[in-house]
Amino acid sequence: MRRDARFAWRSLGKYKELGPGWIGTIHWGTEENPGGSATILGIEGGVELRHNIVQDDETRTEVSERIQFRSLPCRYGGERKYWACPRCWRTCEAVVMASNATFWGCRKCLRLRYVSQGLVPRERLWRRAEQIRNRLGGTDEEGYFWKPKWMRQRTFDRLCAKANALEEEGDLHWVWSLRRLGIPSLEAAYRAILGESAS
């Protein structure tokens, strides 16, 4: 299930019969906390999304949004389909439900940011290092990385070195932020956390 109410064209690419009369469903949320769902109805030249908003007094309000297709030619022939944003008509690969669930729009219209854009530099570096380590398959019970069977040793060593360099750079950013707060070193930070007096 999807974590957010995001509707991408690629999620419909496998349905060749998409057209008037076609019916489907999109879900968002998690297994533990389902967010909701919307019905997809195929119309001429696009789709119509329908979902209900449940108010605090248990009343339901039906919301309907029509989203048109837009085809652009590919460099080596053929065409690729995109959405036309129902708010600004910008060509986009995905539309997102607004926070009040009353309409859909593109990332520009809703002024949405990527997760990395909301992180400070050290968190951005740590996140990149974690993404590389997840690509390597994570760690075992003792915290060691093992080379995946399909990966070359040179590639594995390069990715490990890159992840370590990113993490070290993130640590340097963190130490610099501590110094700006008047904490001279990591040892002083640990002593402050543990409640010990600095010597």
Domain ranges in the chain are 6-105, 115-194
**Structure confidence by residue, pLDDT tens digits, 85-110:** 999 999 998 898 887 778 888 988 88
Residue 4: pLDDT band with limits 50, 70, 90: low
Residue 1: pLDDT band with limits 50, 70, 90: very low
Q: Which long-range contacts (CB under 8 A, 24 or more apart) does 160-165 make?
A: 160/136, 162/132, 163/129, 163/132, 163/133, 163/136, 164/129
pLDDT at 28: 77
Q: What would you measure as the largest C-alpha separation in the chain, in angstroms?
A: 76
Amino acid at 1: M
Contacts of 185 (CB under 8 A, 6+ apart): 175, 178
Worst-scoring range by mean pLDDT, 4-18, 33-47, 48-62, 127-141? 4-18
Provide the whole-model pTM: 0.59
More confident residue, 10 or 169: 169
Q: Quote the CA–CA distance of 22 and 39 in Å, as a whole number.
A: 11
**Angle between helices 153-180 and 121-135 in degrees, nearest 10:** 160
